[in-house]
Structure 1
Amino acid sequence: MPTRVYLEIGKTKAFACTVEWPGWCRSGKGEQGALDALVDYAERYRPVVEAAGVRWPTNVTRFEVTERLPGGGATDFGALSKPCLLDARALSAADSRRLAAIVEASWATLDRVAGSASPVLRKGPRGGGRDRDEIVAHVVDAERSYFRKVGIRTGDRSEFIDALRRARNPVPVDAPGKPWPWRYIARRVAWHVLDHAWEIEDKSE
């Protein structure tokens, strides 16, 4: 069975996101560039899934594009920003446990990478870029705003995971404003964590 993928297509970049695998999302120049990047990161993502106790299927890089969404400024900046239509599905108990396990494994990956990295990371050609602790603090700070999208006003990860495991409706019913679907927030949180974990790894080499 092909791996379902949706695309966010901006003016300068596109984002390819797997529907069922939180965190396995990559950007590139155009649709094909994003899909190629997704293939390139498959084996880097695989240990996260295995740490979560989830089976990694064969032929996982055989993709089926299920939806194409117009991107915006966030897409061109390098961040995914939109849920897909398949995120409107209800969740079973097994679905919710699986999403929570992969998010937790993503956090554990960042903890492991940050714990073994130098505090000072390699900078870009113009000297720009954050060091290890700044990246970790940025991830934690971003999660506070993410969690509010499902009605959690603290940055407490355990509270978020408990709510995710209990989720059955596609979208939180008691969250104010325009809440994010549970499948989308799991994807967004895991992607952001892993993107920065891999950044730390790359800048430590």
Structure 2
Amino acid sequence: MCHEPCHQKSCETARNCSPYGVCTILENEYRCECLPGFTGDGYVCEGEELGTPYHPEDPEQPYQPEEPQEPYQPLDPQEPYQPLDPQDPYQPQDPYQPQDPYPQDPYQPQDPYQSLEPQEPYQPLEPQDPYQPLEPQDPYQPLEPQDPYQPLEPQDPYQPRPQDPYQPQPPYQPLGPYQPQEPEEPYHPVLFCNAGE
């Protein structure tokens, strides 16, 4: 247990406690307490298995790297790359032979510009006759005049068809009492018998 209060405002900012201790709140006070397995006042905590107290102020030992490793060497060193079959450099079948570097006839400048063939002055095609319309047409003449509209023969005003005068039918007369008809005789088929039987 630590007996002196931490002077920090909160445990989040308490940095003067031992790395093996924690800052806790007891009765509204922040205190440093050693972790389980360690003893001390909270600012300096000793481990039960450690003989000397841990003091973070002690300078750390200088860094000592491990033994240097040997450089990487492949298991089977390979020979440098060599193509399977060395090929001869490219030789064309027919080596290029430039033409004569200079032509036989040296360059001769042509005469000043001359047209190939003298051209005749422009002559238009044969003049065409002035426009002549087709045969003149007679002025518009309407078709034969039609007679003025004449309605068909006037029809007589509506007259109903003459009908026969109404003739009343005779009054209804009921039939007499029902009289059944005499029943017809039933049909009797005629049977013929052979004389030999």
Q: TM-score range by the shorter chain?
A: under 0.3
Larger Rg: 1 or 2? 2
Report the TM-score, using the length of structure 2 for normalisation: 0.17
